[in-house]
Every structure is written in C-alpha cells, then in structure tokens.
Amino acid sequence: MTAQVEEIRLNLPHIELAAHLYGPEDGQRVIALHGWLDNANSFARLAPLLPGLRIVALDFAGHGLSAHRAPGASYLLWDYVADVLQVAEQLGWERFSLLGHSMGAIVSVLLAGAMPERVERLALIDGLMPYTGEAEQAPAKLGEALRAQLALRNKRKPVYADIDRAVEARMRNTGAVSREAAELLAERGLMPVPGGYTWRTDNRLTLPSPLRLTRAHAQAFVHAVQCPTRLVLAEQGILAVEPGFSGLLEGMPVEVHRLPGKHHLHLDDEAGARAVADCFNPFFTLP
C-alpha cells in the first residue's frame, strides 16, 4: 500500500465520480470496480501489487466520494454499466480491461458481454452473475421494491459515536471483512455528522431491485464475453455457498482459480492480496 496513488475526479455528462489512479501513464489500461457498499479503497492492497497496469479504481455512483444520483434516478446494474462506459470515453480508452470484485465483477461481465469490442480481458474476484429471478416472481419483486421506495423517506442512516464503532459495524455487515479492511473502507466511506459519523453511501443503494434478470439472461451475458476471463473464487466467499454455482460454471468461457479466504480476500490482509495478485499478474501479461 506504499505505491503512489492519485485522487482524480471524472466529470461525466450526468454525474461526477471519484477514483484512485495507480500505475504508469503508459501502463495497460484497467478500470477497477468495487463491490456493493464498498469504495475505491477496496483495491488499496491489490492495486500496488499489479505493476505495469494503469488502474483507475472507481467509486461507483452513490459510494465513497462519488456524487449521488439525482432524485428519481436509480442504481440498477445497467446504470453502473453505462457509467463505466462513460468513464472509458472520458479517459479516451477505446479498449481496456476490467478488474471487478463482487458487484463490480457482475458489472464487468455485463459490459463485456454487451460490448465485447471494448473490453480486452476480465479479472474477476468472487463475482460473476447477478442474483436472478424468474418471470413468475416479477410482480412480487416489483411490489417489494415499490413498497421499499415509499418507506425510504422515513429511513435514517445509523450514526456512530466514533470511527471505531463504525468500523466494528462494517466488520459485521453483509460481506463481513477484517478490521484492517473495514478501516480502509471507512477512510473513504465515512463522513462526520452531528453526533458522530455515518456512511456517505446513498440510502437508495439498500433498496431491493425492482426487476431481476432470469437465469437465462444472466448466462447469456457470460457466454457473450469474448475476451480472456479469469475468476478468483474465495473458498469461504459468497459464491462458495451459492447452490449449484460450481455446476453453473461448466461450459462457461471462464478460467477459475480457487484461493483460501473470504469474500474480500483481496482486501482482508496482505497475504490474500498477494495471492490474488499472483493469480492476476501472469493473466495480464498473456498475449
């Protein structure tokens, strides 16, 4: 984590995003995408271990130091896909690779499947396809989302008396992380408020999805990917307990590497970050 990192702002036509910039100007172009409710510091351990790459680690909209979407706008997966494409356009990157963790890995696959001519390779960490739902579940799913939207006006973020309490809460939340990982995410994710600290993340990020892709839709995106794809699966991660996930990988154009660790294995400790880097460094040097 001693490598030089630059804080940048990206003024897209519809929103301003924040990002960390790593690596040499002439390095291989990579956009790094974090998971749900995380931020660009998700790559604070890993990015310095990937020499020769020009990494733009984004804060997704509504996360970290990036702006929140306008009132009435949504945080659907395809909205993030459009954001990433706009980032590449602003950077002048016609071709680029994607390094994605969890939700960031899902967004990476959707973009690579939809626009294979733009993406050179995919490096994925414990994420591949979105949660799916079948047609008969759609009315109930939309109803759930609409009710949650109505209730959002009365929902308040928790306020923590000090940073340490916020860190401890993040350690226990969805996608539990080590204390060091929680501290890194808190550096970029917390803001002072009356009474203590709260997370910068937009409350709308916790709303349920109004519509999910079917399993067939999700698989179609994976099969539409044309670039080399390497997936690191955490042995104690969220995909390891997903029913039928191993069978789902059969026949997919994805090279899978299993490593010890939890969902945030690339951030929890230096050993995990090094193991993931050792997996991805040869991958990024392939012809």
- The reply to whether the predicted model has a pTM over 0.85 is yes
**CATH code that applies to domain 5-133+214-284:** 3.40.50.1820
pLDDT of residue 192: 96
Express each pLDDT in 160-178 by its tens digit: 999 999 999 999 877 789 9
pLDDT of residue 286: 86
Whole-angstrom Cα distance, residue 95 to residue 58?
17
**Domain residue spans of the chain:** 5-133+214-284
Active site positions, annotated: 102
CA dist list (Å): 49 to 45, 93, 229: 7, 23, 19
Neighbours of 85 (CB within 10 A): 16
pLDDT of residue 145: 96
pLDDT of residue 152: 93
Spans of the chain, pLDDT less than 50: 1
pLDDT of residue 1: 47
